[in-house]
Amino acid sequence: MSEWIDIGALDDIPVRGARVVRTTLGCVALFRTGEDEVFAIDDACPHKGGPLSEGIVHGKAVTCPLHNWVILLENGEVQGDDEGSVRTFRVKVEDERILLDPTLLASRNAA
Amino acid sequence: MTQRLVVIGAGMASGRVLETLFETAPCAYDVTLFGAEPRGNYNRIMLSPVLSGEKTYQEIVTHDADWYAGHGVTCRFGEPVTAIDRARKVVISEAGETPYDKLIVATGSDPFIIPVPGKDLPGVITYRNLDDTNAMIAAAEKPGAKAVVIGGGLLGLEAAAGLKLRGMDVTVLHLMPHLMERQLDPAAGYLLQKELEGRGIGIHTRANTHEIIGTDRVEGVRLDDGTEYAADIVCMAVGIRPATALAKEAGLACGRGLHVDDQMITSDEDILAVGECVEHRGMCYGLVAPLYDMAKVAAKTLAGEAAEYTGSVTSTKLKVTGVDLFSAGDFAEGEDREEIVLRDAAQGIYKRLVLRDNRIIGAVMYGDTADGNWFFGLLKDRTDIAEMRETLIFGPAFAGGTPLDPMAAVAALPDEAEICGCNGICKGQITQAIASGATSLDLVRGQTKASGSCGTCTGLVEQLLAVTLGDEYAAPAAQPMCKCTELTHEDVRRLIKSQKLTSMQAVFQAGNWKSSCGCHVCRPALNYYLIADWPDEYQDDPQSRFVNERNHANIQKDGTFSVVPRMWGGITTANELRAIADAADKFNVPTVKVTGGQRIDLLGVEKQDLPAIWADLNKVGLVSGHAYAKGLRTVKTCVGTDHCRFGTQDSTGLGIKIEKRMWGSWTPHKVKMAVSGCPRNCAEATCKDVGVICVDSGFEVSVAGAAGMDVKETEALGKAVAEDEALDLIVAFVQLYRENAKYLDRPYKWVAKVGLDWVKERVVENRENRQALIARFDHSQTIYQTDPWAERANDQTTKRWSPMADLTLEAAE
């Protein structure tokens, strides 16, 4: 259970861009910021389910492409006057490889 | 148990009732709102700035669809109520019956039409709602058009000033000896007349309209004395009368207006009434402040709270930019009255106070109205002014001869002084809001509504902010681009050009950006500005583009995309259609639709399938239609001389030439064009960003039309004898737009800002400049005119656009 899942290389995600990972919990969006940090959150905006992975990444936030809600990548909270949050998932980068929290698979096992 | 509240009339009075009701008793009623106009509540008193072009309709909307939805209001707009059945407690409209527990009648007023021959001719317009306003704006489009306004009151003069600003030749006919006789004394009326005449508006007082002349539509107006004025439109603005027909039919007690008591209840205890349709204690009101007072009382009555409306004292301001005019109370001369008058002829200032028993009972001010609210406060409060009588006319800030400082004047106002007449907000309420954190105009507006209606007190509210906050208050400059910078779009464009900034980081640095890498507002704009200004030096940044431009397809609400290949001038072939049909089959496209731009849309394609479908379409020569781009979209054409018996030129051919020359170019917003082969205009060219009408002698090129949120006819840019010259004009116009417009301004918005003359000078008159614009456009095309689909129709893109990993598959193994 302690083994992290190797998802791919850091360079598979464009700088200030995102890629999607399909999981049993739905699609998870992996973001790479301008500072090469990587974050993983649900790929669905709490507003109308917009694909966050298609949004514009700025600082440590992403703007939903459908109605411009801004979501903080670190904690999944919606910024500004709107309210809501999305799930976040633990992810780390080691030796230019992206490693995702294995609990994603654990949830699948439990299901 | 929730009661059913039905409201007839979606104007400002009923709008305010609902606002107050939802604040006081949010869940007490299930509301159904009927409106005769096909739209919700907008700020009707701001129609004058809309007419003059200083504001757009969107800017004056008070309640949008979200507001109604958020409060659970069932909207029945565009559906007039035809009867009220009080016995069965239902209202009747075209769609049937709607039951109520409580009913509000807010039917407003009808314009008064003077009963002269010709009053029903097309072209005779009243001035009450947005449709009237739009009809006047449309009439002003015709060059040299003439307007006659009947009625020199508040409404008539605002209409006249607006039409004049729209370029019309305007004459005002007024029955009385001086303008606005109900609000102004003869002296102020005279000053106003001079001012308006100075602006080129003709004023004819003591003008008794005899008839409106015209056969099929209005052609002019004839007066009793035989004078005739030619007119393309006649605006009838002689007054209003309460709209009581519905109430009378239902047997409710009516006089001039619909009778209400101090709780705004009519002769039927379940029916309330507010607004201009009402008569209260013998008075009918046509100004917004009393309407709001009534609305508050009506809402409280509905919520079961005690409240009382005891009538209103009103003041008036004329909303014509550059004319300061204020009047309140009673200013007729009389034996028991005294007056204080101040005149400064050189500065065009006139102030007159009418006193009785040491109290102000009337005030008229022209040229300098800054003290109007202070006088109005003294008037309403019946303050004894004996002590300050000597200096009263100089206003509240008089301090022994030092020049008046507007800040000091505002600072000197007592807390009870009314600042916002429309909403009845006094100084104390505003300073309280500021003290509790409303440190900007928007915040004050949001919390108190002060300056949120007619807006004339905006300056006073800003001064209060400045006085209360001192140096902490930064007066709002022009709107900054976004939260990352203080600079406006225009500033940034200038900076990019003047300092030769060729990268986004250089702009961030030079413009003191507060964020490390911008935001979703500034980055797409900067990316465009840099592409447009430095095609050689700057590298397009896909991560700064909105989703559609990044993926070269339009995202749909379910996350799939749509694919629209280009069809040059709307012409296609059997071979292309076969390829489209095959692609639709192969990729299980659920919807195939013909677009308004004469091409075909394949909707519902998965992102990872895009490169493959593009590859298939590329094989028969189909390229991206840029249906997703702030760039050249379509050039719509009719069949022209090839097939049509009316065609004067090869419109299809010209359309194709334009599209082939200009496709792939990025612009501040989307650009749609059309070419019609004759003035019958089957390609609808006159509502496009650029439109060409072919005539026997050449090509009429017009620009800056719109057929979206706004609808606007194009304006003539120039006429070309040869096809190449038409093409030159179009290319130069688009390049000028590319180089100068604000990101996300369509050409019609940009042209409204810079003026068509400015554009013509650079595109039409200065031939050297025209050629330079064309050269820069063509150079940019050598870099950007490439098919983005062909570049991405490969396995690498497919891989990048597919999920990075599929953990559901691993789980299955």
Q: Could you read off the pLDDT of B677-707 as tens digits, one per residue?
A: 999 999 999 999 999 999 999 999 999 999 9
What kind and span of H or E run contains B646? none
- Residue-wise burial string across B612-622, b where 16 or more C-beta atoms lie within 10 A, e elsewhere: bbbbbbbebeb
pLDDT number for residue B270: 94
Question: Cβ contacts (< 8 Å) between A15 and chain B: which residues?
Answer: 543
Given A14, A24, A51, which is nearest B559 (Cβ)?
Answer: A51
Measured between alpha carbons, how far is B401 from B428 in angstroms, rounded to an integer? 28
Q: Residue B125 corresponds to which tokens in the numbers above?
A: 């317009």
Shortest distance between the Cα of A1 and any Cα of chain B, in A, equals 14
Whether the Cβ atoms of residue B232 and residue B146 lie closer than 8 Å to each other:
yes
pLDDT at B424 over 90: no
Angle at B615 between CA B613 and CA B617, to 5 degrees: 70
pLDDT number for residue B286: 80
pLDDT at B304 over 60: yes
pLDDT number for residue B745: 92
Considering just the CA atoms, what is the radius of gyration of chain B in Å?
A: 31
Give Cα B34 distance to the centre of its chain: 23
Maximum mean pLDDT: which of B133-137, B451-455, B650-654: B650-654
Shortest distance between the Cα of A74 and any Cα of chain B, in A, equals 17
Measured between alpha carbons, how far is B166 from B120 in angstroms, rounded to an integer? 25
Question: pLDDT band at residue B739, thresholds of 50, 70 and 90?
Answer: very high
pLDDT at B397 over 70: no
Q: What percent of chain A has pLDDT over 90?
A: 63
Shortest distance between the Cα of B548 and any Cα of chain A, in A, equals 9
Question: pLDDT band at residue B401, thresholds of 50, 70 and 90?
Answer: very low
More confident residue, A2 or B798: B798
User: Mean pLDDT, to the nearest integer, of A8-35?
Assistant: 92
Cα B394 to Cα B328, B345, B365, B385, B390: the distances in Å are: 17, 16, 12, 13, 9
- If you count residue pairs, one on A and one on B, with CB atoms under 8 Å apart, how many are there? 87
pLDDT at B399 over 60: no
Residues 6+ apart with CB under 8 A from B716: B700, B701, B702
Where do runs of H (alpha helix) occur along B637-744?
640-643, 651-662, 723-740
Measured between alpha carbons, how far is B465 from B112 in angstroms, rounded to an integer? 42
Given B542, B546, B807, which is nearest A23 (Cβ)?
Answer: B807
pLDDT at B334 over 80: no
**Residue from A10, A22, A104 to probe the interface with B (highest B Cβ count within 10 Å):** A22
pLDDT at A111 over 50: no
pLDDT number for residue B601: 97
Question: With a threshold of 0.80, does the pTM exceed it?
Answer: no
- Residue B141: other Cβ atoms inside 10 A: 14
pLDDT number for residue B194: 84
Q: Do A48 and B803 touch (CB under 8 A)?
A: no
- Residue B241: other Cβ atoms inside 10 A: 15
Shortest distance between the Cα of A57 and any Cα of chain B, in A, equals 7
Question: pLDDT band at residue A107, thresholds of 50, 70 and 90?
Answer: low
Measured between alpha carbons, how far is B29 from B653 in angstroms, rounded to an integer? 62
Question: pLDDT band at residue B812, thresholds of 50, 70 and 90?
Answer: very low
More confident residue, B446 or B291: B291
pLDDT number for residue B21: 92
Q: What percent of chain B has pLDDT over 70?
A: 95
pLDDT digits (tens, 9 = 90+) for A47-64: 888 999 999 999 999 999
Residues 6+ apart with CB under 8 A from B401: none
Question: Cβ contacts (< 8 Å) between B545 and chain A: which residues?
Answer: 56
pLDDT number for residue A110: 43
Among chain B residues, the shortest Cα distance to A26 is held by B808
Q: Decide: residue B351, CB within 10 A, 0-12 exposed, 13-18 middle, 19+ buried.
A: buried
Measured between alpha carbons, how far is B440 from B777 in angstroms, rounded to an integer? 43
- Residue B393: other Cβ atoms inside 10 A: 19
pLDDT digits (tens, 9 = 90+) for B538-591: 999 999 999 999 999 999 988 899 999 999 999 999 999 999 999 999 999 999
Measured between alpha carbons, how far is B813 from B810 in angstroms, rounded to an integer? 5
Q: What percent of chain B has pLDDT over 90?
A: 53
Question: Cβ contacts (< 8 Å) between A22 and chain B: which residues?
Answer: 803, 805-809
Q: Do B520 and A51 touch (CB under 8 A)?
A: no
Q: Do A54 and B557 touch (CB under 8 A)?
A: no
User: Mean pLDDT, to the nearest integer, of B598-625?
Assistant: 95
Q: Chain A residues within 8 A (CB-CB) of chain B? A: 5, 7-8, 12-17, 19-24, 27, 30, 34, 48, 50-51, 54-59, 63, 65-66, 68, 70, 104-105, 108
pLDDT number for residue B402: 43
pLDDT at B14 over 90: yes
More confident residue, B654 or B323: B654
Cα B374 to Cα B184, B315, B368, B389, B411: the distances in Å are: 18, 12, 13, 14, 12
Question: pLDDT band at residue A74, thresholds of 50, 70 and 90?
Answer: very high
Q: Decide: residue B419, CB within 10 A, 0-12 exposed, 13-18 middle, 19+ buried.
A: buried
Backbone φ/ψ region at B559: left (φ over 0), alpha (ψ -120 to 50), beta: left
pLDDT number for residue B321: 64
Q: Do A59 and B544 touch (CB under 8 A)?
A: no
Question: Cβ contacts (< 8 Å) between A20 and chain B: which residues?
Answer: 803-804
Helix, strand counts (H, E) of chain A: 1, 10
**Could you give phi then psi for residue B288, rounded to 5 degrees?**
-75, -35
Q: Chain B residues within 8 A (CB-CB) of chain A? A: 515-520, 523-524, 542-547, 550-551, 555, 557, 559, 800, 803-811
Q: What is the dihedral sign for C-alpha B459, B460, B464, B470?
A: positive
Q: Residue B763 corresponds to which tokens in the numbers above?
A: 């595109």
User: Mean pLDDT, to the nearest integer, of B319-346?
Assistant: 75
pLDDT digits (tens, 9 = 90+) for B445-494: 878 878 876 666 777 888 888 888 877 776 655 678 888 888 889 889 98
pLDDT at B530 over 90: yes
pLDDT at B611 over 60: yes
Q: For chain B, what is the mean pLDDT?
A: 88
pLDDT at A1 over 80: no
pLDDT at B423 over 80: no
